[in-house]
Structure 1
């Protein structure tokens, strides 16, 4: 069935089967080293380096609530408690929600700013600037122990963060749509950005422990400043590339003016891909937000060890992306890889529920599956929407993704709250007082009174302790919720596969067939437009 479809595609395109076969043969005769030598001289791979750094800062500070938000010492919570101010789990999770809720709509407008108004370069400068300003406001919120500033900083950060990711995707598509390597480029940029989150989980708790929580948050602002510098380099390289003819001139007036009907008229394949994005991402990132405490309960780990295990996921993403991206570039078949990724995440959650597989293995496995997802999902979008709506398409997908990411943590948090023991965890001093016996109490009456007074004073003056962790049963039901979400994504991926086969089959085709069919489709569209102009 698949062979007949590809053969028909060869016959339909204008370039002809013989030409494609010859091109494929020549490509196949090249060794990986020869391909590498051909590709490495292209400017687009140097552009890719700075495109990776573009979102590094935003991902570094995104998971601050998960890495240094709550805990008994060297956290935002402990700093607020030391000043006699309240800071609980609900307030900490709200920092995630206020980031995501605005982007349920604004990411779409970010795509429009790219496509229709500002253009890609100016839009990138705006978005990375908002990320940096938001990080600075958040820093001053921690410094001054003002929760309102924390919320304001996360809102401003959110206004730029997701739209910056949209502009990154549009920028990579702009430079890599022609020639080899688009799946590889997408895999590297998206997964390398996650390294920022991994660095946060690895180093922020250590920096907070050694130099204080304020210094740890300051490092986040510095990371965002580095992203600002990378944006400046990208703008300069894009101007240079345009002058040299390496990329087409930037235009914010391409195509017809924006109409709401353009959203409604997006093809079915795009909506299926967006649905897959929402469900699979919502089975992954809310888990990352609770993974540190989950590992503490499931594997009896310390907070620092649990955070280190969480970081494995992002590092494997970055290391696996060149491999999976290269495989997708050579093999093609975007839709099949999407099915593999959705099935992989479903299995991942099932293993968390039923087994005690080592956390290092589980997070490494999740990282590999995620690298497969990003190498197949995001590069597929330029093949299902017209070029002048690519930024809008990424914006819509990101907005839908954020709708899920703003809602799923609230649901999982509600589940965990049900299974969280009531009351507060006692401080070590209180525990020592309650467990006192003749072996710990001084025998001298005067010393006994002094010891009792010191213990009671320490206990009574102790800052409020953080809420106790949920039980393992609570995390099990949360994992069932995440597994169900991933399973829905698997169903969507299967539907997408069959819908694509009923149309041109671009997402399920090998690279040579896909590119030839796409070129023929664009040629016919240009001819139709020319005929309309003549009439």
Structure 2
């Protein structure tokens, strides 16, 4: 068995990096589509065909996490632990495609002119137009798929890179995901064009998600070969999953500190990015067609910096300290957006700093999980963290949408009537800053717990 493992694909640098590439391409596709509507928010609000107000956009954005918080993500983690990487990844890639297709249909003229399902969706929740409701259902289905694929991707990195360049590999996977964000923030408003045809970038995103399924199928061939070489039988793991395993994870203080840092940090980043292009329009007076360019600096910066952070963690360590520093930077950025000058260069500087923060915290947090949770529980542990995180991803967009409408009375109607008025984003940015402060507290608690229990979060990840 030892000789088989030594000769397996995982011992080949070329093979394991190719495996990471194919999985990362699937995640790039998912992350592209996940943010495809973010740089289109102003168009969705001001275009009479859609006329989505702040509450409707927040409702739609929060829908990403509906199925996740209902517990389906935890079920997905259990499926991952019991049925394996290949089955889980393929099934949930298909689920992503189904959700993306519904989102696209919700925005088409066919649906808006009374197509299949329009009358039914128009018969309830009269404050929300039918396209918002159908797009939200599609986004919920898509969100479940990409979240479970994210869990699967983390498990794949552990499988292929544990004891090797694991933090660097996870960082590269994150960087690839940011490539999807960069691409969509820059491309989507340009593809919609002056005519503001939002279905164009959404259609392209759907095609890209289908391509992502194909790249995962290629990875699955490599994964099957690895299992065969090492005689891995998923039905004969060291310990079969039991529901009591969840209790073992949930009684771990360090797990809770990471999970709560995760939900607070990501709630102050991803929902912010859903509104960032609109912030650029209304505070920094950027044109709608290029409003995604400044927010695109965040994923561009993280693509470069996150792998460097991963290498540092592999060879030098200091994960807990880096999470603290990243959390502090997040607070400063949101305070800057709340009270800083309406200067485009100031916005660029803040977005670059946010990119640094977004490299530090996720780059240190995800490789830390295997240090505090046994490997056979990792699928479930990652799923629980993603599940907790998604409560924030569901709630915060709706809170921000509500705050925009509540503290900017009448502005949406004036915008839809063509008036030259702007939203004031001060209160939403303060909400994000407070959230970041709470995350900082849990980063300190995690470092303290590591000192007590000796998880080794400040030690290098790479085995010597």
Q: Looking at CA atoms only, which structure, 1 or 2, has the larger radius of gyration?
A: 1
Q: Which residue of 2 aligns with 1:113?
A: 79
Q: Which residue of 1 aligns with 2:448?
A: 498
Change (3 A) 1:88 1:379: same
The higher relative CO (CA closer than 8 Å, separation ≥ 6) is in 2
Q: Does the Cα contact within 8 Å between 2:257 and 2:442 map onto a contact in 1?
A: yes
Secondary structure in structure 2 of the residue aligned to 1:189 = helix
Aligned-pair CA distance for 1:242: 2.7
Residues 383-392 or 186-195, more deviating: 186-195
Aligned-pair CA distance for 1:465: 4.1
Matched, 1:230 2:218: no
Q: Which residue of 1 aligns with 2:271?
A: 286
Secondary structure in structure 1 of the residue aligned to 2:296 = helix
Matched, 1:400 2:388: yes
Q: Distance in 1 between matches of 2:401 and 2:419?
A: 13
Secondary structure in structure 2 of the residue aligned to 1:310 = coil
Task: Give a deviation string over 1:273-324, Cα, whole Å, max 9, x none.
Answer: 1111111111111111111121222222212232111111111111112211
Q: Which residue of 2 aligns with 1:321?
A: 306
Q: Which residue of 2 aligns with 1:306?
A: 291
Change (3 A) 1:418 1:341: same
Q: Which residue of 1 aligns with 2:166?
A: 182
Aligned-pair CA distance for 1:126: 0.6
Q: Does the Cα contact within 8 Å between 2:45 and 2:53 map onto a contact in 1?
A: no
Task: Give a deviation string over 1:327-365, Cα, whole Å, max 9, x none.
Answer: 111111211111111112122222223433622221121
Q: Which residue of 2 aligns with 1:8?
A: none
Superposition map of 1:113-132 within 5 A: 113-116=79-82, 118-132=83-97
Q: Distance in 2 between matches of 1:424 and 1:102?
A: 29
Q: Distance in 2 between matches of 1:252 and 1:482?
A: 45
Q: Distance in 2 between matches of 1:315 and 1:353?
A: 23
Task: Give a deviation string over 1:65-114, Cα, whole Å, max 9, x none.
Answer: 3222442xxx5873xx34xx664332222221221121112211111000
1:58 pairs, out of 30, 33, 45, with: 30
What is the RMSD computed on CA atoms of the aligned residues? 2.4
Matched, 1:477 2:427: yes
Superposition map of 1:41-440 within 5 A: 41-71=13-43, 75=44, 78=47, 81-82=48-49, 87-104=52-69, 105-116=71-82, 118-143=83-108, 144-145=111-112, 146=118, 147=131, 148-179=133-164, 181-209=165-193, 212-245=197-230, 249=232, 251-266=234-249, 267-356=252-341, 358-422=346-410
Aligned-pair CA distance for 1:487: 1.1
Task: Give a deviation string over 1:126-156, Cα, whole Å, max 9, x none.
Answer: 1111111211222222222252432332122
Aligned-pair CA distance for 1:467: 9.5
Aligned-pair CA distance for 1:479: 1.6
Aligned-pair CA distance for 1:511: 4.2
How many residue pairs match? The answer is: 427
The TM-score with structure 2 as length reference comes to: 0.86
Q: Distance in 1 between matches of 2:190 and 2:423?
A: 27
Q: Does the Cα contact within 8 Å between 1:70 and 1:466 map onto a contact in 2?
A: no
Structure 2, unaligned stretches of length 5 or more? 1-10, 113-117, 119-130
Q: Distance in 2 between matches of 1:259 and 1:329?
A: 32
Change (3 A) 1:244 1:87: same
Change (3 A) 1:497 1:204: same
Q: Distance in 2 between matches of 1:467 and 1:261?
A: 59
Structure 1, unaligned stretches of length 5 or more? 1-38, 428-463, 517-535
Q: Distance in 1 between matches of 2:31 and 2:461?
A: 32
Aligned-pair CA distance for 1:207: 1.1
Q: Distance in 2 between matches of 1:155 and 1:70?
A: 22
Change (3 A) 1:234 1:76: farther
The TM-score with structure 1 as length reference comes to: 0.75
